Structures are given as structure tokens and as C-alpha cells.
Amino acid sequence: MKKDITVTSPLLPPLEEFIPYLEQIWTSRILTNGGAMHQQLEQALCDYLGLEHIALFANGTLALVTALQSLRITGEVITTPYSFVATAHSLLWNGIKPVFVDIDPATLNLDPLKIEAAITPSTTAIMPVHCYGNPCDIAAIERIAEIYNLRVIYDAAHAFGVRDEGGSILRHGDLSVLSFHATKVFNTFEGGAIICPDAKTYRRIGHLKNFGFVNETTVIAPGINGKMNEVSAAFGLLQLQHIDQALARRREIDRLYRALLDGLSGVRCVESLAYEHTNHAYFPILVEPEFPLARDELYQRLRENNILARRYFYPLISDFPMYRALPSAEPANLPVARSVAGKVICLPIYPDLADKDVEAICNLIIESGTR
């Protein structure tokens, strides 16, 4: 039996490096509720990312739900169907109606040219996703938000460490939300964070992630339990020691894929506009009609060879039962997203992936494409 090559594999530093952190936690006897590890990780992430205020969470989904609650978002929110389902679920958890808008065929992010037509008197916010870590058209989105007085909450779950000319792209919008799930570029087993623009917002979010408590006896809102525990925070601190090396290795793998698949007819590697500043969180390819195998045939062939690639993002969020009756979920409204969801395969990419595995994956794709 050949070993499975999964689409991603967690950044897992040597176990012995984690023991001293655990010893500190055992000594302190503080396991959660904003202990020393939690405080240190918030500060270390602010320093690493060049940001002022980061509120840690137990996972990215709770962070998304709380981000919307903290801004009192109601009514309708414009978002992308081409994402992980948690993006839209966070709206439903707040009683908000998602309005799906199609994506740009080059960036696979929300198409700013199609946003205005979806705005109604009930629209209160836009929730774009920096899909695969490739930045949205932030300038265009913020121009629209300003004209129509809308809030912008970025689902930045894929965008850890992504920058533009001015610094981290997480500084944009009213709030940005990260996920530190085990499958992400930076992980804390499970975890997430909200990037806050100021100390006041940070404090409010701090209350909302702790049941709404502001002190021992006062509860100001129906907050959730969204707190990150000390073991996860400690793991984040350790992970930060290794993250630059991990990002550099991801870049090498990305380059190798592009070099090996270059010129193969019917397979297109998705380009990143901000290539020098991106994080290579995913390696999506689009299997075009001229390729001899259909997308699902290639996907199956990879699986048969123990290469567990994934069809991120298929199906579209708008095709799930709790969304598909929405007018904006109509296939005719989302032609680009639908077409891309039918072509995409994300190939394995993670720091421990060996060059010879990338070569084997590419050889299999090339053989499938030249029969």
C-alpha cells in the first residue's frame, strides 16, 4: 500500500519543542480564559503581522459569527458562493440573509463589478473572501462600501501572512477574520481570530467571545463561548517560530508545480496577482474542456494513486439545501462560480511535501493529458 498524499497536512513542529510550553501551562494551572499563552500569542501575532489588535477565538467560524454580531449587522449581506460553507453559515447564525454575487474569472474572488446590482435597501454589509489567500479587489470593494454606507467584513481564513504594498491585507475593512484550523497555513489545532481596528472594538469583541460578560456580574449581550484555550495558544507561539520556513517551502512547491505543468494543454494553474506577497495556502488548477479527462475523472485517477486532492470549492455554497431557494442562488446569477466549481482541483501543498511527490503528481496529470 502506497502512503496517502493528502491535500494538506498540518505544520507540526517537533514534539519535544512543545513540552516546555506544556510545562508552563501545568505550572500556572490556568487552562483558558485569557491566560499567559493567550496574551503572548495575541501580542506575537500583532508583531508578526504588523497589526494593532487581534482577538483570538476557539475557531474561525465562531470568529465570523462574532464579527457580524459585534457590528450589529442585520438584513442582507453580499457574499461569494465560491468559498467554504462557514462563510455563509455565519450569516444564517446571525439571522442575516446571504445575497450571492458572482466571482471574477481571474481572481476567483467576489466580482466588484457585480456588487452594485445586488444592493437593496436591506443591504448592510459585504462579506468577501480572499480565496486561496489571493487578495480581493480591496480598493473597488471599499469604494462601493463607502458610497452605499456598507460595512465590510473579510473572511480572511486563507490569508494568513498575505501582504500588499502597505502591509498585511488583514488591516482592511471594518474587520477581518482568520482561521487557525489544522488544515490552514498557520494552525492552533482549532482556532481563529478577529483583527480589530481599535482598542474599543477589541474590548467589545472580548466581551462577546466570553458570553457577554464585562465584569463578574454584568452581561451586556448574548455572547458566545469563543475563547481560545491555553494549549492552542501555546501551539500557536511554537508555530510562529517555524512559519517563515513553512511559507518559504510552500513557495518552492508552488514554483515547482507551475514549472512542471507549464504548457500542458487543458490545465490552467490559477494565477495570483500578488504573487510575491501571497502565502500559497492552496494550489488550485482548472481542468478545461480540452483536457482528455473530465475534472472528476482526473480527480478519481489521482485518488486511485493515493493522491487525495480536493475539489475546493465544489459544490458552491449556493447549492446547499439551506441556500438554494434564495433568488441570488439561481444558477443564471452565478455563471462564473458555477463554471469554476466544475473545473477546479486543489493539488496537495504543505511544507513537508517532497519534491519527488510533486513530480509524481505532475507526471500523473501529464500522462492523463497526453494519451
Ligand X SMILES: *Cc1c(COP(=O)(O)O)cnc(C)c1O
Binding status of residue 80 toward ligand X by CB under 6 A: no
Q: Does residue 343 contact residue 311 with C-beta atoms inside 8 Å?
A: no
Binding status of residue 155 toward ligand X by CB under 6 A: yes
Tell me whether residue 6 or residue 24 sits nearer to ligand X (CB atom). Answer: 6
Q: Which residue is nearest to ligand X (CB)?
A: 60
Cell triple for 238: 511554537
- With CB under 6 A as the contact rule, the residue among 60, 98, 112, 128 that binds ligand X is 60
* Residue 234 backbone dihedrals phi, psi, to 5 degrees: -65, -40
- With CB under 6 A as the contact rule, the residue among 133, 135, 173, 192 that binds ligand X is 192
Binding status of residue 179 toward ligand X by CB under 6 A: yes
Closest distance to ligand X from the beta carbon of 214 (Å): 26
Cell triple for 54: 487581534
Binding status of residue 145 toward ligand X by CB under 6 A: no
- With CB under 6 A as the contact rule, the residue among 151, 158, 163, 227 that binds ligand X is 158
- With CB under 6 A as the contact rule, the residue among 53, 172, 181, 338 that binds ligand X is 181
- With CB under 6 A as the contact rule, the residue among 8, 80, 83, 94 that binds ligand X is 83
Is residue 232 helix, strand or coil? helix
Binding status of residue 87 toward ligand X by CB under 6 A: yes
* Cα 195 to Cα 6: distance, rounded to the nearest angstrom: 30
Closest distance to ligand X from the beta carbon of 110 (Å): 12
Tell me whether residue 154 or residue 257 sits nearer to ligand X (CB atom). Answer: 154
The region of 48-56, 58-66, 104-112, 319-327 touching ligand X under the rule CB under 6 A is: 58-66
* Cα 73 to Cα 64: distance, rounded to the nearest angstrom: 12
Count interface residues toward ligand X (CB under 6 A): 14
Tell me whether residue 299 or residue 313 sits nearer to ligand X (CB atom). Answer: 313
* Residue 183 backbone dihedrals phi, psi, to 5 degrees: -85, -5
Q: Does residue 314 contact residue 344 with C-beta atoms inside 8 Å?
A: yes
Residue 193, H or E segment: strand 192-196
DSSP output for 40-91: HHHHHHHHHHT-SEEEEESSHHHHHHHHHHHTT--SEEEE-SSS-THHHHHH
Tell me whether residue 129 or residue 298 sits nearer to ligand X (CB atom). Answer: 129
* Cα 68 to Cα 85: distance, rounded to the nearest angstrom: 16
Q: Does residue 77 contact residue 221 with C-beta atoms inside 8 Å?
A: no
DSSP output for 175-188: EEEEE--TTSSS--
The region of 73-81, 84-92, 294-302, 344-352 touching ligand X under the rule CB under 6 A is: 84-92
Binding status of residue 157 toward ligand X by CB under 6 A: yes
Closest distance to ligand X from the beta carbon of 138 (Å): 17
Binding status of residue 135 toward ligand X by CB under 6 A: no
Sorted by sequence, the CB contacts under 8 Å of residue 243 that are 6+ apart come out as 11, 48, 161, 185, 186
Tell me whether residue 202 or residue 312 sits nearer to ligand X (CB atom). Answer: 312
Closest distance to ligand X from the beta carbon of 183 (Å): 7
Closest distance to ligand X from the beta carbon of 194 (Å): 12
Tell me whether residue 59 or residue 124 sits nearer to ligand X (CB atom). Answer: 59
Closest CA to 284 of 255, 313, 323: 313
* Three-state secondary structure readout of 276-314: HHCCCCCEEEEECCCCCCCHHHHHHHHHHCCEECECCCC
- With CB under 6 A as the contact rule, the residue among 25, 67, 77, 86 that binds ligand X is 86
Binding site for ligand X (CB under 6 A): 59-61, 83-84, 86-87, 129, 155, 157-158, 179, 181, 192
